[in-house]
Every structure is written in structure tokens, then in C-alpha cells.
């Protein structure tokens, strides 16, 4: 087993993709003119900065705009997304038996042939929705939280950090759904027609079948069109979370459902 088989899209694609998507999403969010949310982000950042200043090596110049504050507080997301690849069920041969049904849900893949593409699709889509919803809930809790000087365990900053953790889990799966080694999408439309199995046949190149192998297909250079689509989808879903932080749960759920359906269409040839 080679290390690239474990960390292909993660180390060459996830970091840069997430960084670009977060920057684009924050830029789009601030054009919405949600002054209350922008004010709260700056206030939360001040709490976050106070903690950072307790670490001399982390101290930096304070930010004053909501855009800059969000960029700094969400800067952890690329590494959070990358870390989602590090878990036992992702280890070839050894990992599959540990969790045969759900081990690859976070990667939008099938663990074995006993899991159908439709089952894998539904499981991974539900995983994305759950963690986007959990991220929204934590960020919203941070927005509403009234910081107290004597509270040392919970703060608006710590709640925001929890939101980052949940968002990172969702973004990893969203991005993986566009990696050709993971999911077969129709070029152009992006319709999903097959969820691939994490096995030797997937990992190893087979030129007779025009299959480059999981590692090669996960390289952005071999899948540039899908890489761009992944960035667009990731951006849109981050914006969906941010723009609904001043809304009620049912409003967010409707907006999220509409957004998910827009980017996770099933193709006519989808295998049953």
C-alpha cells in the first residue's frame, strides 16, 4: 500500500479547494448586507482574538471588518477537511472489515459491492445534510451567545469553533462527491450515475478499461472540470449556512434542501 492511495485528493486538492471556496463564500456573504450578522462576527472575533493573544506565537494585528474576521476564524477549515481522510476505515484491506456499511460514507464511496450506489448516495447525502445542519446550529448558537467574563469553558468563540468542526466534516464529503475516483458524474451536468467502491479495482490503474486509478483520478490535473464544480458547490453551501444564521430552523432547512437538490442530481443511468 502506498501513502498516495490514502491521501490523494486530500493533500493535493482538498486544501486548496476548501481555501478558495471559503474565501469566495465569505466574499459573497458580505454582499448580502446582513449588518446584524456582520456585527456579531466582529464581536465573536474579538473573543477569539483574546484567546489567541494568550499564545504569543499566534498573535497578529486585529481585524475590523466582518470579512476579515470570518477569514481568520474560518482559516482552520482546509486542514479540518483534510483530516477527515485520517481514520481506520480508510485503510485498504484492513479498514473495510471495521465498518463494511458506513466506513466510506464520509468519502461518498461504497465500502463494498454489498452496498448499492443508491444506498451509498443516500447515506452520504444524509451525512452532508446532517453536518451542514450541525454547523449552522453551532454558528447560530455562537451568534446568540452572550459572553460573560467569568465563563471559561463556553464562549461565542468556542461555539463558532465547534461550527467549523462540523462544517469541515460536511465539506470533505461534498468535495469527494466530485472526485472521479469516488463518484461517476456526467461531464457538464454533474449528474451522479454511480458511486464507486473503495477496493483494489478502484485503486489500481487498468488502461484496458480507460481507468487511471483512484490516485490519478483524484488529482485536480486529471479532473479539472469536476474540481471547478466542486469548488462552486462548496462555496454555495457555505453561503447557504452563513446567510441563514439569522433565520429560523425551518427557513434554513428549506434553503439547504433546495441547495442540496441543485448539486446532487441523480442521472437517468444511475445503477440501482
pLDDT digits (tens, 9 = 90+) for 12-42: 578 999 999 999 999 999 999 999 999 999 9
Q: Is the pLDDT of residue 2 over 50?
A: no
Non-local (6+) Cβ contacts of 30 within 8 A are 38, 65, 66, 67
Taking only the tens place, the pLDDT of each residue in 80-126 is: 999 888 766 555 555 555 555 566 899 999 988 888 999 999 999 99
Please give the pLDDT value at position 37. Answer: 98
* HSE-CB of 128 using CA atoms within 13 angstroms: 26
Single pTM value for the model: 0.87
Distance CA 233, CA 255 (A): 14
Q: Report the percent of the chain where pLDDT is more than 90.
A: 60
Q: What tens digit of pLDDT does each residue of 126-157 get?
A: 999 999 999 999 999 999 999 987 777 899 99
Quick check: 112 and 96 in contact, CB under 8 A? yes
Cα 262 to Cα 104: distance, rounded to the nearest angstrom: 23
pLDDT per residue over 230-248, tens digit each? 999 999 999 999 999 999 9
Number of helical (H) and strand (E) elements in the chain, helices listed first: 11, 2
Rounded CA gap, 143 and 128, in Å? 22
Among 43-52, 156-165, 213-222, name the one with the lowest average pLDDT. 213-222
* Three cell numbers written together for 113: 459491492
What integer pLDDT is reported at residue 111 of this predicted model?
86
What is the per-residue pLDDT for 153?
82
- The one-character DSSP state at 184 is E
What DSSP character marks residue 116? -
| Distant-in-sequence, close-in-space partners of 192: CB < 8 Å, separation ≥ 6 | 121, 177, 183, 184, 185, 264, 265, 266, 267, 270
- Residue 5: per-residue pLDDT: 44
What is the per-residue burial (b if ≥16 Cβ within 10 Å, else e) of 118-142? eebbebbbebbbebbbbbbbbbbbb
Q: In which band, very low, low, confident or very high, does the pLDDT at 206 lie, cut at 50, 70 and 90?
A: low
DSSP state of 193: E
SS3 content of the chain, % helix, strand, coil (to 5): 65, 5, 30
Amino acid at each position: 500500500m502506498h501513502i498516495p492511495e490514502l491521501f490523494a485528493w486530500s493533500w493535493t486538492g482538498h486544501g486548496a479547494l476548501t481555501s478558495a471556496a471559503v474565501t469566495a463564500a465569505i466574499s459573497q456573504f458580505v454582499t448580502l448586507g446582513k449588518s446584524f450578522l456582520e456585527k456579531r462576527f466582529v464581536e465573536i472575533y474579538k473573543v477569539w482574538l483574546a484567546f489567541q493573544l494568550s499564545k504569543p506565537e499566534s498573535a497578529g494585528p486585529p481585524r475590523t471588518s466582518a470579512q476579515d474576521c470570518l477569514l481568520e476564524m474560518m482559516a482552520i477549515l482546509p486542514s479540518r477537511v483534510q483530516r477527515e481522510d485520517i481514520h481506520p476505515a480508510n485503510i485498504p484491506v484492513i479498514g473495510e472489515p471495521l465498518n463494511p456499511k458506513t466506513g466510506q460514507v464520509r468519502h461518498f464511496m461504497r465500502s463494498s459491492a454489498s452496498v448499492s450506489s443508491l444506498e451509498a448516495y443516500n447515506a452520504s447525502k444524509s451525512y452532508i445534510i446532517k453536518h451542514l445542519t450541525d454547523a449552522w446550529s453551532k454558528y447560530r448558537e455562537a451568534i446568540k451567545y452572550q459572553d460573560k467574563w467569568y465563563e471559561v469553558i463556553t464562549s461565542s468563540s468556542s461555539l463558532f469553533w465547534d461550527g467549523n468542526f462540523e462544517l469541515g466534516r460536511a465539506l470533505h464529503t461534498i468535495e469527494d462527491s466530485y472526485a472521479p475516483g469516488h463518484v461517476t458524474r456526467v461531464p457538464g451536468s454533474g449528474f451522479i450515475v454511480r458511486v464507486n467502491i473503495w477496493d483494489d479495482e478502484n485503486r489500481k490503474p487498468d488502461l484496458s478499461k480507460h481507468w487511471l486509478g483512484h490516485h490519478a483520478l483524484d488529482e485536480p490535473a486529471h479532473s479539472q472540470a469536476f474540481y471547478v464544480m466542486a469548488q462552486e458547490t462548496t462555496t454555495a453551501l457555505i453561503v447557504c449556512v452563513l446567510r441563514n444564521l439569522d433565520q429560523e430552523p425551518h427557513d434554513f432547512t428549506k434553503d439547504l434542501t433546495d441547495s442540496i437538490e441543485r448539486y446532487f442530481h441523480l442521472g437517468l443511468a444511475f445503477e440501482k
